[in-house]
Amino acid sequence: MADPVRVRAERLFRELQASICEDLETLEGGATFVEDAWERPGGGGGWTRVLAEGAAIEKGAVNVSAVHGEAPPALVEHLGIEAKTFFATGISMIFHPRNPHAPTMHANLRYFEAGEGESVVSWFGGGSDLTPYYLYREDAAYFHRTVRDACDRHSVADYPEWKAWADRYFHNAHRGEARGVGGVFFDHQKGDADAWLAFDRDYGLALMPSYLPLLERRKDSPTTAEQERWHLQRRGRYVEFNLIHDRGTRFGLQTGGRTESILVSLPPRVRFDYMAEPGEGTPERELLDVLRGPAQEWL
Protein backbone atom coordinates (compact mmCIF):
# COMPACT_ATOMS: atom_id res chain seq x y z
CA MET A 1 0.00 0.00 0.00
CA ALA A 2 1.38 3.39 -0.97
CA ASP A 3 2.37 5.85 1.71
CA PRO A 4 -0.05 8.71 2.43
CA VAL A 5 0.29 11.77 0.21
CA ARG A 6 1.64 13.86 3.09
CA VAL A 7 4.48 11.38 3.64
CA ARG A 8 5.37 11.20 -0.04
CA ALA A 9 5.25 14.98 -0.43
CA GLU A 10 7.58 15.57 2.52
CA ARG A 11 10.00 12.92 1.23
CA LEU A 12 9.99 14.47 -2.24
CA PHE A 13 10.73 17.93 -0.90
CA ARG A 14 13.67 16.63 1.12
CA GLU A 15 15.06 14.93 -2.00
CA LEU A 16 14.69 18.14 -4.00
CA GLN A 17 16.40 20.11 -1.24
CA ALA A 18 19.44 17.84 -1.38
CA SER A 19 19.62 18.00 -5.18
CA ILE A 20 19.26 21.79 -5.38
CA CYS A 21 21.85 22.44 -2.68
CA GLU A 22 24.30 20.12 -4.41
CA ASP A 23 23.84 21.96 -7.72
CA LEU A 24 24.45 25.36 -6.10
CA GLU A 25 27.50 24.11 -4.23
CA THR A 26 28.95 22.77 -7.47
CA LEU A 27 28.62 26.18 -9.11
CA GLU A 28 30.07 27.93 -6.05
CA GLY A 29 33.07 25.63 -5.95
CA GLY A 30 33.74 26.29 -2.28
CA ALA A 31 30.88 27.73 -0.24
CA THR A 32 28.50 25.15 1.23
CA PHE A 33 25.04 25.05 2.77
CA VAL A 34 24.78 24.68 6.54
CA GLU A 35 21.72 22.81 7.79
CA ASP A 36 19.74 23.87 10.83
CA ALA A 37 17.13 21.32 11.94
CA TRP A 38 14.35 22.75 14.09
CA GLU A 39 11.15 21.72 15.85
CA ARG A 40 7.87 23.59 15.95
CA PRO A 41 6.07 23.87 19.28
CA GLY A 42 2.74 22.17 18.65
CA GLY A 43 3.94 19.69 16.04
CA GLY A 44 6.46 19.10 13.30
CA GLY A 45 9.48 21.09 12.27
CA GLY A 46 11.88 21.50 9.41
CA TRP A 47 15.33 21.77 7.93
CA THR A 48 16.73 25.16 6.96
CA ARG A 49 19.82 25.13 4.76
CA VAL A 50 21.67 28.42 4.31
CA LEU A 51 24.66 29.36 2.16
CA ALA A 52 26.33 32.66 3.06
CA GLU A 53 29.08 34.76 1.50
CA GLY A 54 29.56 32.62 -1.58
CA ALA A 55 31.43 33.77 -4.66
CA ALA A 56 28.24 33.96 -6.75
CA ILE A 57 25.48 33.80 -4.11
CA GLU A 58 25.76 36.33 -1.29
CA LYS A 59 22.94 34.57 0.54
CA GLY A 60 20.93 31.53 -0.43
CA ALA A 61 18.47 29.37 1.47
CA VAL A 62 16.58 26.16 0.76
CA ASN A 63 13.96 25.33 3.40
CA VAL A 64 11.85 22.23 3.92
CA SER A 65 9.17 22.15 6.60
CA ALA A 66 6.53 19.66 7.69
CA VAL A 67 4.30 21.11 10.40
CA HIS A 68 1.02 19.93 11.91
CA GLY A 69 -1.26 20.36 14.86
CA GLU A 70 -4.23 22.39 15.95
CA ALA A 71 -5.36 24.87 13.31
CA PRO A 72 -4.91 28.41 14.67
CA PRO A 73 -8.06 30.57 14.44
CA ALA A 74 -6.25 33.10 12.24
CA LEU A 75 -5.43 30.34 9.72
CA VAL A 76 -8.99 28.97 9.73
CA GLU A 77 -10.37 32.45 9.14
CA HIS A 78 -7.83 33.22 6.42
CA LEU A 79 -8.51 30.00 4.50
CA GLY A 80 -12.27 30.04 5.07
CA ILE A 81 -12.42 26.39 6.17
CA GLU A 82 -13.94 24.46 9.05
CA ALA A 83 -11.08 22.43 10.50
CA LYS A 84 -9.53 21.81 13.90
CA THR A 85 -6.22 20.37 12.63
CA PHE A 86 -3.85 20.99 9.76
CA PHE A 87 -0.73 19.59 8.09
CA ALA A 88 1.54 21.49 5.73
CA THR A 89 4.78 20.57 4.05
CA GLY A 90 6.78 22.45 1.47
CA ILE A 91 10.09 23.48 0.04
CA SER A 92 11.00 27.11 -0.51
CA MET A 93 14.18 28.68 -1.79
CA ILE A 94 15.72 32.07 -2.41
CA PHE A 95 19.03 33.00 -4.03
CA HIS A 96 20.38 36.54 -3.72
CA PRO A 97 23.36 36.92 -6.09
CA ARG A 98 26.38 39.04 -5.32
CA ASN A 99 26.59 40.62 -8.79
CA PRO A 100 23.94 43.26 -9.69
CA HIS A 101 23.72 41.87 -13.23
CA ALA A 102 22.62 38.44 -11.97
CA PRO A 103 18.96 38.02 -11.02
CA THR A 104 17.44 36.82 -7.78
CA MET A 105 15.38 33.64 -8.06
CA HIS A 106 12.66 32.42 -5.70
CA ALA A 107 10.63 29.22 -5.85
CA ASN A 108 8.44 27.03 -3.68
CA LEU A 109 6.28 23.93 -3.77
CA ARG A 110 3.81 23.00 -1.06
CA TYR A 111 1.14 20.55 0.02
CA PHE A 112 -1.57 21.34 2.57
CA GLU A 113 -4.21 19.34 4.44
CA ALA A 114 -6.87 20.44 6.92
CA GLY A 115 -9.43 18.42 8.86
CA GLU A 116 -9.66 14.75 9.69
CA GLY A 117 -11.16 11.57 8.25
CA GLU A 118 -13.65 12.05 5.44
CA SER A 119 -13.73 15.80 6.00
CA VAL A 120 -10.09 16.32 4.98
CA VAL A 121 -9.49 18.99 2.36
CA SER A 122 -6.11 19.16 0.61
CA TRP A 123 -4.37 21.04 -2.15
CA PHE A 124 -1.06 21.78 -3.85
CA GLY A 125 0.60 25.11 -4.61
CA GLY A 126 3.87 26.66 -5.63
CA GLY A 127 5.67 28.49 -8.40
CA SER A 128 8.87 30.35 -9.20
CA ASP A 129 9.81 33.83 -10.31
CA LEU A 130 12.82 35.86 -11.44
CA THR A 131 13.82 39.29 -10.10
CA PRO A 132 16.49 41.02 -12.19
CA TYR A 133 18.24 44.25 -11.23
CA TYR A 134 19.21 44.97 -14.84
CA LEU A 135 16.95 43.93 -17.67
CA TYR A 136 18.32 41.23 -19.96
CA ARG A 137 15.38 40.21 -22.09
CA GLU A 138 17.10 37.03 -23.23
CA ASP A 139 17.44 35.94 -19.59
CA ALA A 140 13.74 36.53 -18.92
CA ALA A 141 12.80 34.61 -22.06
CA TYR A 142 15.07 31.69 -21.16
CA PHE A 143 13.64 31.48 -17.64
CA HIS A 144 10.04 31.53 -18.87
CA ARG A 145 10.75 29.02 -21.62
CA THR A 146 12.23 26.53 -19.16
CA VAL A 147 9.28 27.02 -16.79
CA ARG A 148 6.77 26.65 -19.64
CA ASP A 149 8.41 23.46 -20.91
CA ALA A 150 8.20 21.87 -17.45
CA CYS A 151 4.52 22.80 -17.22
CA ASP A 152 3.76 21.52 -20.72
CA ARG A 153 4.91 18.03 -19.75
CA HIS A 154 2.03 17.66 -17.25
CA SER A 155 -1.72 17.84 -17.76
CA VAL A 156 -2.31 19.31 -14.28
CA ALA A 157 -0.19 22.38 -15.10
CA ASP A 158 -1.28 25.46 -17.02
CA TYR A 159 1.57 27.83 -17.90
CA PRO A 160 -0.54 30.64 -19.46
CA GLU A 161 -2.95 30.77 -16.52
CA TRP A 162 -0.22 30.45 -13.91
CA LYS A 163 1.98 33.04 -15.64
CA ALA A 164 -0.89 35.54 -15.49
CA TRP A 165 -1.45 34.61 -11.84
CA ALA A 166 2.22 35.29 -11.08
CA ASP A 167 2.02 38.68 -12.81
CA ARG A 168 -0.86 39.59 -10.49
CA TYR A 169 0.67 38.11 -7.37
CA PHE A 170 4.32 39.21 -7.52
CA HIS A 171 3.35 42.86 -7.56
CA ASN A 172 4.10 45.62 -5.06
CA ALA A 173 0.69 47.27 -5.28
CA HIS A 174 1.74 50.06 -2.93
CA ARG A 175 4.51 50.96 -5.41
CA GLY A 176 2.70 50.18 -8.63
CA GLU A 177 5.59 47.91 -9.61
CA ALA A 178 6.05 44.26 -10.45
CA ARG A 179 8.64 42.58 -8.23
CA GLY A 180 10.41 41.22 -11.29
CA VAL A 181 9.72 39.57 -14.63
CA GLY A 182 7.43 36.95 -13.12
CA GLY A 183 7.25 33.23 -13.68
CA VAL A 184 4.35 31.08 -12.51
CA PHE A 185 2.22 30.97 -9.38
CA PHE A 186 -0.49 28.48 -8.41
CA ASP A 187 -2.39 27.73 -5.22
CA HIS A 188 -5.31 25.65 -3.91
CA GLN A 189 -4.90 23.13 -6.74
CA LYS A 190 -6.82 19.89 -6.22
CA GLY A 191 -7.12 16.62 -8.11
CA ASP A 192 -5.09 13.46 -8.67
CA ALA A 193 -2.38 13.48 -5.99
CA ASP A 194 -0.15 11.14 -7.99
CA ALA A 195 -0.26 13.48 -10.97
CA TRP A 196 0.51 16.46 -8.76
CA LEU A 197 3.45 14.75 -7.07
CA ALA A 198 4.82 13.78 -10.49
CA PHE A 199 4.57 17.40 -11.59
CA ASP A 200 6.19 18.66 -8.38
CA ARG A 201 9.12 16.31 -8.90
CA ASP A 202 9.65 17.33 -12.53
CA TYR A 203 9.17 21.02 -11.83
CA GLY A 204 11.46 20.88 -8.82
CA LEU A 205 14.20 19.27 -10.87
CA ALA A 206 13.78 21.98 -13.55
CA LEU A 207 14.35 24.86 -11.12
CA MET A 208 18.14 24.84 -11.25
CA PRO A 209 18.28 24.43 -15.05
CA SER A 210 16.00 27.51 -15.25
CA TYR A 211 18.34 29.62 -13.11
CA LEU A 212 21.93 28.41 -12.95
CA PRO A 213 22.78 29.23 -16.60
CA LEU A 214 21.70 32.82 -15.94
CA LEU A 215 23.77 33.02 -12.77
CA GLU A 216 26.77 31.51 -14.55
CA ARG A 217 26.40 34.01 -17.40
CA ARG A 218 26.20 37.14 -15.19
CA LYS A 219 28.09 36.40 -11.98
CA ASP A 220 31.43 37.82 -13.18
CA SER A 221 30.10 40.87 -15.04
CA PRO A 222 32.02 44.11 -14.37
CA THR A 223 30.16 46.41 -11.96
CA THR A 224 30.37 49.96 -10.63
CA ALA A 225 29.61 51.51 -7.25
CA GLU A 226 26.49 53.10 -8.76
CA GLN A 227 25.24 49.73 -9.98
CA GLU A 228 25.81 48.22 -6.54
CA ARG A 229 23.82 51.04 -4.95
CA TRP A 230 20.94 50.36 -7.36
CA HIS A 231 21.22 46.66 -6.58
CA LEU A 232 20.70 47.30 -2.86
CA GLN A 233 17.87 49.75 -3.49
CA ARG A 234 16.01 47.17 -5.55
CA ARG A 235 16.60 44.58 -2.86
CA GLY A 236 14.63 46.96 -0.66
CA ARG A 237 11.61 46.46 -2.92
CA TYR A 238 12.04 42.71 -2.48
CA VAL A 239 11.95 43.15 1.29
CA GLU A 240 8.79 45.24 1.02
CA PHE A 241 6.99 42.53 -0.94
CA ASN A 242 7.98 39.74 1.44
CA LEU A 243 6.93 41.64 4.54
CA ILE A 244 3.72 43.17 3.17
CA HIS A 245 2.28 40.82 0.56
CA ASP A 246 3.89 37.37 0.66
CA ARG A 247 1.45 34.55 1.53
CA GLY A 248 4.19 32.23 2.75
CA THR A 249 5.37 34.79 5.28
CA ARG A 250 1.84 35.32 6.51
CA PHE A 251 1.07 31.58 6.68
CA GLY A 252 4.26 30.84 8.60
CA LEU A 253 3.58 33.51 11.19
CA GLN A 254 -0.10 32.53 11.52
CA THR A 255 0.81 28.91 12.23
CA GLY A 256 3.48 29.66 14.81
CA GLY A 257 6.33 28.93 12.43
CA ARG A 258 9.97 29.56 13.16
CA THR A 259 10.68 33.24 12.57
CA GLU A 260 14.31 32.79 11.50
CA SER A 261 13.31 30.30 8.81
CA ILE A 262 10.35 32.38 7.65
CA LEU A 263 12.46 35.52 7.24
CA VAL A 264 15.52 33.78 5.79
CA SER A 265 14.31 34.99 2.38
CA LEU A 266 15.41 38.55 3.20
CA PRO A 267 18.69 39.73 1.62
CA PRO A 268 21.74 40.33 3.82
CA ARG A 269 22.33 43.91 2.64
CA VAL A 270 19.77 46.48 1.47
CA ARG A 271 19.24 50.23 1.05
CA PHE A 272 16.16 52.37 1.59
CA ASP A 273 17.10 55.72 0.03
CA TYR A 274 14.47 58.44 0.05
CA MET A 275 12.90 59.24 -3.34
CA ALA A 276 15.58 57.35 -5.27
CA GLU A 277 14.67 57.49 -8.97
CA PRO A 278 17.01 56.71 -11.90
CA GLY A 279 17.47 59.18 -14.71
CA GLU A 280 15.80 58.95 -18.08
CA GLY A 281 17.58 56.87 -20.69
CA THR A 282 19.51 54.78 -18.15
CA PRO A 283 19.49 50.96 -17.86
CA GLU A 284 17.98 51.38 -14.42
CA ARG A 285 15.08 53.39 -15.85
CA GLU A 286 14.62 50.77 -18.56
CA LEU A 287 13.98 48.14 -15.89
CA LEU A 288 11.61 50.40 -13.95
CA ASP A 289 9.60 51.24 -17.06
CA VAL A 290 9.03 47.52 -17.62
CA LEU A 291 8.15 46.83 -13.98
CA ARG A 292 5.71 49.74 -13.89
CA GLY A 293 4.10 48.92 -17.22
CA PRO A 294 1.67 46.19 -18.26
CA ALA A 295 2.75 42.58 -17.83
CA GLN A 296 4.83 41.36 -20.74
CA GLU A 297 4.74 38.08 -22.65
CA TRP A 298 8.39 37.13 -22.50
CA LEU A 299 7.92 34.27 -24.92
Catalytic residue numbers? 106
CA-CA distance, 187 to 263, in Å (whole number)? 21
Burial class from Cβ neighbours inside 10 Å (0-12, 13-18, 19+) for residue 39 reads: exposed
- Residue 263 class from Cβ within 10 Å (0-12 exposed, 13-18 middle, 19+ buried)? middle
Residue 100's nearest CA partner among 52, 58, 129, 61 is 58
Are residues 110 and 223 in contact, defined by beta-carbon separation less than 8 angstroms?
no
Instruction: Please compute, for residue 203, the number of CA atoms within 13 A of its CA located in the half-sphere on the CB side.
Output: 34
Task: Label residue 99 left, alpha or beta by phi (over 0 means left) and psi (-120 to 50 means alpha).
Answer: beta
d(CA 174, CA 54): 33
The rounded distance, in Å, linking the Cα atoms of 222 and 227 is 10
219-231 as b/e: b if 16+ CB within 10 A: beeeeeeebbebb
